[in-house]
């Protein structure tokens, strides 16, 4: 009958599935597959978490057993039932787990109490067997850093505080020295930290400074002293003190959050004294010439000519570290008509204060941190202040709306988000995060969203521009006899009495012979430190860079890496590999570098620091912290990117690094509210970890599992429509 039916094709099998039915996906099967995948993922993550937890517990039990056995045998202290996992707290003498804060006193540390006089260990409260003095609890160093410390080099070395009057007969750097002499040129921030890093690894280092003070550019000088750099009288650091600090030396609590030049100079002097660098410092010693020895191809040695009080002599060194910085030789570009200008032209290098500028019409060329500071200061005393800019510039305040320093937003999470998101979306989010900002773009070159130059930090210039006290102009077209003309108004002459050129500096080293690593505006330094043209790893440049952020930690990381290379513990790649790396960095550079000279000097803070830290095995292991210390992991990942993170592990780690990281926000709050600050134990602030952190007690691995499940669920929902 089917053959005679008019609507049925006799050549089609009625029992076969239709084409439409075959094209319909089996959503039920896909949902079951995704559900099974989620279950498997949960199981794998749970297994990894349990295995890791067992490993760390077992590892801590072994370490705790050895430490507790020593305590038990040495002092006859009653052994608790679970002594295999416990150690004796050196603060309250109670047993607690190794590697975690003591539940009795909240102190994070290991070891026992020690006698203040003879440094012998014993139980707190008992009399010392050697001198009979009652062994007391180590007290906190409230004057400087807040970590433990006594008037003894032993305790200072154990707990990481070097501020105390320690025994001068005990070496601060108990590393076996090697017969390798290193010369450090310059005693500024880079020179001091380089000298300290070299001494830490056992090198015979000597530092030569042209002036009679340490601190370099941060030592204010009333008058111009040749090529010796100096900041202005009113200079204030653009980065907060916690971000500026060296990785093992927190600034004193009484210093302001943004340190003026007096505090920064004092901080460097304290750093030198606490690390006992004076015996290796040679002040008022000028380095006249640095050249290769005759057998340099074999030995890699350098012949340095020194001058001191008219005496000139030569000394031979195995390695040289140049730490004179970038702010020594000013750059003054030549502009049309400048030779015919009858007014006064000077560089920001020579500007000290407002004296001599009262009632004048001043033009500041350039829009950087120095030019903004000069314009703000002169707006109170000068008749008119013009600022000439050639590119669009963003101006940010030092503080956010809630009073937190802007650089506290510089976190690892922030950098990771920057890498993940498109540039225009990230800039929009950044604009919402920092609302009190301003674009200075009048007469300046516009830029695309993918070509953002770095902004500047200044709190007052925004108000000065809005009130008309500072007038923003475009690039200078040419000079006239009594003024200048700008590009946006080429037919109008603006009368100007004094021109201040805030146009940057040139990295010059006139004392260095037989070694050239600067070719025009290209600097051929591997990782901005080692010259590629040098046959041996015996010459390094520390502090030659430009970074959006704190410079002290970068110089310190460079110095730590150079110290390991000079000692022979780290090796440099071949010349071809170093040249390829320099070219790669130049090719991958953002378009912002087209706005500045010496493009290779610009570095990105976090990637650069992590890369150098990898060389010396000092980069914090975030996965390890996430499994063993979730609170510290949160502080390192979502908290401010302080340099203390690079002292958590590796050689020359600092025992006070964890406390310094966990209490950054507490120290900031104590500065904002001194009357309500807690002068008790510093480590107790770990409970007030970070204002923006969740106080959830879920383990980190469980949070990762839930996040992964949420991502899979969203993907499944979108996929199935």
Question: Is the CB of residue 284 less than 8 Å from the CB of residue 210?
Answer: yes
Q: What is the value of pTM for the model shown?
A: 0.71
pLDDT in tens, 188-214: 999 999 999 999 999 999 999 999 999
Question: Is the CB of residue 85 less than 8 Å from the CB of residue 56?
Answer: no
Write the CB contacts of 214 (distance below 8 Å, at least 6 apart in sequence): 187, 188, 192, 268, 269, 272, 281, 283
pLDDT at 15 over 70: no
pLDDT at 678 over 60: no
pLDDT for the residue 677: 41
- What class is the 181-327+507-623 domain? alpha beta
Question: Is the CB of residue 333 less than 8 Å from the CB of residue 390?
Answer: no
C-alpha R_g of the chain: 31
DSSP class of residue 453?
P
List the structure tokens of 7. 């609507």
List the structure tokens of 254. 């009484």
List the structure tokens of 686. 């770990």
State how far the Cα of 105 lies from the Cα of 399, in Å rounded to an integer: 35
State how far the Cα of 636 lies from the Cα of 553, in Å rounded to an integer: 16
Please name the helix (run of DSSP H) or strand (run of DSSP E) that holds residue 466, with its range, or none.
helix 461-467
Q: How many residues does the chain have?
A: 721
Question: Is the CB of residue 211 less than 8 Å from the CB of residue 226?
Answer: no
**For residue 692, how many other CB atoms are within 10 A of its CB?**
12
Three-class DSSP category at 447: coil
State how far the Cα of 238 lies from the Cα of 457, in Å rounded to an integer: 6
Domains 181-327+507-623 and 332-397+436-503 share a fold: yes
pLDDT at 556 over 90: yes
CATH number of 332-397+436-503: 3.50.50.60
pLDDT at 62 over 60: no
Give 273's pLDDT tier (boundaries 50, 70, 90).
Answer: very high
Write the CB contacts of 526 (distance below 8 Å, at least 6 apart in sequence): 532, 572, 573, 578, 581, 582
507 closest CA partner among 366, 608, 602:
602
Q: In angstroms, how far is the first alpha carbon of the chain from the final one?
A: 44
pLDDT for the residue 416: 80
pLDDT for the residue 46: 74
pLDDT in tens, 683-708: 333 333 333 333 333 445 555 566 66
Stronger pLDDT, 163 or 508, i.e. the higher one: 508
Domain residue spans of the chain: 84-116, 181-327+507-623, 332-397+436-503
Question: Is the CB of residue 341 less than 8 Å from the CB of residue 480?
Answer: yes
pLDDT at 136 over 70: no
pLDDT in tens, 333-376: 889 999 999 999 999 988 999 999 999 999 999 888 899 999 99
List the structure tokens of 174. 């108990």
Distance from the Cα of residue 561 to its chain's centroid? 14
Q: Which residues pair with 387 in a beta bridge?
A: 364, 472
Three-class DSSP category at 656: coil
């Amino acid at each position: 009958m089917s053959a005679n039916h008019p609507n049925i094709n006799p050549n089609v099998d009625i029992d076969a599935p239709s084409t439409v039915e075959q094209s319909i996906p089996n959503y039920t099967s896909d949902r079951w597959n995704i559900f099974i995948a989620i279950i498997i993922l949960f199981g794998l993550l749970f297994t990894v978490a349990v295995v890791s937890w067992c490993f760390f517990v077992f590892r801590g039990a072994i370490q705790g057993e050895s430490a507790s056995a020593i305590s038990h045998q040495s002092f006859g202290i009653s052994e608790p039932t679970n002594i295999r996992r416990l150690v004796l707290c050196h603060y309250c003498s109670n047993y607690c787990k190794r590697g975690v804060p003591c539940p009795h006193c909240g102190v994070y540390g290991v070891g026992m109490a020690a006698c203040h006089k003879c440094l012998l260990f014993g139980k707190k409260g008992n009399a010392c067997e050697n001198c009979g003095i009652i062994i007391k609890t180590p007290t906190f160093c409230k004057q400087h850093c807040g970590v433990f410390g006594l008037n003894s080099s032993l305790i200072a070395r154990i707990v990481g505080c070097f501020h105390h009057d320690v025994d001068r007969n005990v070496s601060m750097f108990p590393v076996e020295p090697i017969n390798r002499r290193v010369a450090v040129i310059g005693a500024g921030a880079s020179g001091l930290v380089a000298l300290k890093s070299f001494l830490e690894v056992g090198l015979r280092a000597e530092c030569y400074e042209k002036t009679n003070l340490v601190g370099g550019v941060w030592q204010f000088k009333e008058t111009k002293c040749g090529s010796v750099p100096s900041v202005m009288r009113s200079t204030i650091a653009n980065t907060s003190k916690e971000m500026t600090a060296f990785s093992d030396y927190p600034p004193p609590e009484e210093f302001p959050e943004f340190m003026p030049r007096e505090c920064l100079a004092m901080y460097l002097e304290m750093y030198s004294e606490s690390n006992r660098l004076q015996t290796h410092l040679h002040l008022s010693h000028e380095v006249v010439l640095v050249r290769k020895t005759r057998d340099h191809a074999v030995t890699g040695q350098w012949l340095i000519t020194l001058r001191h009080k008219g005496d000139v002599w030569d000394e031979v060194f195995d390695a040289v570290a140049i730490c004179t910085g970038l702010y020594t030789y000013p750059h003054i570009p030549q502009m049309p008509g400048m030779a015919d200008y009858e007014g006064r032209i000077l560089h920001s290098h020579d500007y000290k204060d407002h004296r001599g500028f009262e009632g004048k019409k001043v033009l500041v060329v350039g829009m950087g941190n120095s030019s903004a500071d000069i314009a703000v200061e002169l707006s109170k005393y000068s008749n008119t202040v013009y600022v000439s800019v050639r590119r669009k510039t963003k101006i940010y305040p030092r503080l956010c709306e809630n009073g937190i320093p802007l650089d506290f937003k510089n976190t690892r999470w922030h950098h990771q988000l920057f890498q993940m998101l498109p540039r225009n979306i990230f800039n929009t989010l950044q604009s919402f995060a920092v609302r009190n900002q301003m674009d200075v773009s009048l007469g300046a070159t516009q830029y695309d969203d993918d070509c953002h130059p770095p902004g500047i930090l200044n709190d007052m210039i925004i108000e000065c521009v809005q009130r008309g006290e500072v007038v923003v102009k475009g690039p200078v077209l040419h000079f006239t006899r009594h003024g200048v003309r700008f590009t946006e108004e080429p037919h109008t002459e603006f009368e100007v009495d004094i021109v201040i050129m805030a146009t940057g500096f040139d990295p010059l080293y006139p004392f260095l012979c037989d070694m050239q690593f600067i070719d025009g505006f290209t600097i051929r330094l591997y990782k901005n430190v080692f010259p590629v043209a040098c046959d041996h790893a015996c010459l390094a440049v520390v502090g030659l860079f430009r970074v959006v952020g704190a410079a002290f930690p970068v110089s310190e990381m460079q110095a730590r890496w150079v110290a390991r290379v000079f000692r022979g513990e780290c090796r440099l790649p071949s010349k071809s590999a170093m040249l390829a790396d320099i070219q790669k960095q130049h090719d991958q550079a953002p378009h912002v570098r087209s706005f500045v000279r010496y493009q290779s000097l610009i570095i990105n803070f976090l990637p650069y620091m992590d890369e150098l830290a990898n060389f010396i095995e000092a980069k914090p292991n975030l996965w390890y912290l996430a499994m063993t210390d979730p609170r510290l992991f949160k502080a390192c990942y979502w908290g401010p990117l302080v340099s203390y993170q690079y002292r958590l592990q590796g050689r020359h780690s600092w025992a006070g690094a964890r406390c310094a990281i966990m209490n950054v926000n507490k120290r900031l709050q104590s500065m904002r509210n001194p009357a309500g600050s807690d002068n008790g134990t510093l480590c107790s602030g770990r409970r007030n970890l970070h204002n923006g952190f969740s106080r959830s007690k879920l383990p980190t691995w469980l949070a990762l599992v839930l996040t992964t499940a949420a991502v899979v669920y969203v993907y499944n929902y979108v996929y199935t429509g």
